[in-house]
């Protein structure tokens, strides 16, 4: 009886150690993921802000044009700070292991806010941002996660689109909503397309250059 008691205690301790090890591995992996997301999502708007600040001394136009650049830079900075706050909040929830936070929201408003964040980056390349989502379309989902997914798609679309437009649309089906992000960029080669959902592989590709002469965008 004493041996059986000791065995049960050993099994309990072993189970606790296994659970703790798995939790530490989960936290470590999540920390790496958060750092990777920060490096990707924050670099893009800060690069746009740097480009605008570099254009101001070179601008030979009227003061109103320089003032527009300063205004755009200020808007980009505010959007970047908001993005950072949102990502820190999301990271804290992920580290705590909390699940999805379902609530009802208007997808059109979510995309409009994303366009506001990326307006300066799009303006530097003369890109038009089109929000084609119906204003009365409502979702019940985790708004934060939807924003993260769309933000990544949008920033990549801007990076790889030299001219033209980027459109976000949504189609309501019987049981779901299909969201699409369309651009007039260089596209994705077939070999890379086949590897997109292999999380262990990282694929780098050169983006398109900015056109300094173009400093206006038309988010709609």
Question: 126 or 52: which carries more pLDDT confidence?
Answer: 126
Specify the DSSP element, H or E, that contains 170.
Answer: strand 165-172
Do 139 and 146 form a contact (C-beta atoms < 8 A)? yes
pLDDT at residue 196, as a whole number: 72
| Nearest-angstrom CA–CA distance, 20 and 26 | 10
Tell me the pLDDT band of 201, cut-offs 50, 70 and 90. low
Do 43 and 84 form a contact (C-beta atoms < 8 A)? no
Question: 167 or 188: which carries more pLDDT confidence?
Answer: 167
| Nearest-angstrom CA–CA distance, 71 and 69 | 5
| Nearest-angstrom CA–CA distance, 77 and 75 | 5
Q: Phi/psi of residue 192, each to 5°?
A: -70, -40
pLDDT at residue 183, as a whole number: 94
Q: What angle do CA 147, 112, 66 make, to 5 degrees?
A: 115
Which three-class secondary structure state does DSSP give residue 32?
helix
Question: 6 or 136: which carries more pLDDT confidence?
Answer: 136
pTM, whole model, 2 decimals?
Answer: 0.61
For the segment 78-84, the average pLDDT, to the nearest whole number, is 70
E-strand stretches of 177-217: 177-183
Q: pLDDT (tens digit, 9 = 90+) per residue, 24-62? A: 887 777 777 777 666 666 766 677 666 666 666 655 555
For the segment 197-207, the average pLDDT, to the nearest whole number, is 60
Do 58 and 93 form a contact (C-beta atoms < 8 A)? no
Compute and round to an integer the Cα radius of gyration of the chain. Answer: 23
Tell me the pLDDT band of 184, cut-offs 50, 70 and 90. very high
Percentage above 90 pLDDT, the chain: 18
> pLDDT at residue 213 above 50?
no
Do 154 and 181 form a contact (C-beta atoms < 8 A)? yes
- Residue of 50, 32, 42 lying closest to 152 (CA atoms): 42
Which three-class secondary structure state does DSSP give residue 131?
strand
Tell me the pLDDT band of 102, cut-offs 50, 70 and 90. confident
pLDDT at residue 218, as a whole number: 40
> pLDDT at residue 63 above 70?
no
Tokens, residue 22:
């798995």
Buried b / exposed e along 29-64 (16+ C-beta atoms within 10 A): eeeeebeebeeebeebbeebbebbeebeeeeeeeee
For the segment 148-165, the average pLDDT, to the nearest whole number, is 87
Do 20 and 92 form a contact (C-beta atoms < 8 A)? no
């Amino acid at each position: 009886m004493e041996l059986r008691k000791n065995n049960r205690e050993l099994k309990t301790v072993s189970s606790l150690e296994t659970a703790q090890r798995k939790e530490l591995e989960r936290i470590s992996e999540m920390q790496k993921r958060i750092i990777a997301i920060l490096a990707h999502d924050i670099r893009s708007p800060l690069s746009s802000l740097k480009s605008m600040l570099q254009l101001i001394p070179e601008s030979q136009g009227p003061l109103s044009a320089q003032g527009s650049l300063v205004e755009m830079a200020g808007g980009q900075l505010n959007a970047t700070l908001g993005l950072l706050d949102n990502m820190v909040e999301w990271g804290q929830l992920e580290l705590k292991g909390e699940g999805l936070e379902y609530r009802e929201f208007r997808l059109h408003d979510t995309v409009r806010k994303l366009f506001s964040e990326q307006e300066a980056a799009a303006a530097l390349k003369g890109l038009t941002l089109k929000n084609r989502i119906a204003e009365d379309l409502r979702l019940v989902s985790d708004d934060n996660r939807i924003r993260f997914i769309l933000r990544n798609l949008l920033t990549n679309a801007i990076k790889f689109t030299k001219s033209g437009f980027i459109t976000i649309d949504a189609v309501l089906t019987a049981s779901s909503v299909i969201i699409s992000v369309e651009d007039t960029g260089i596209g994705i080669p077939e070999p890379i397309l086949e590897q997109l959902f292999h999380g262990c592989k990282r694929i780098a590709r050169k983006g398109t250059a900015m056109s300094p002469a173009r400093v206006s965008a038309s988010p709609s």
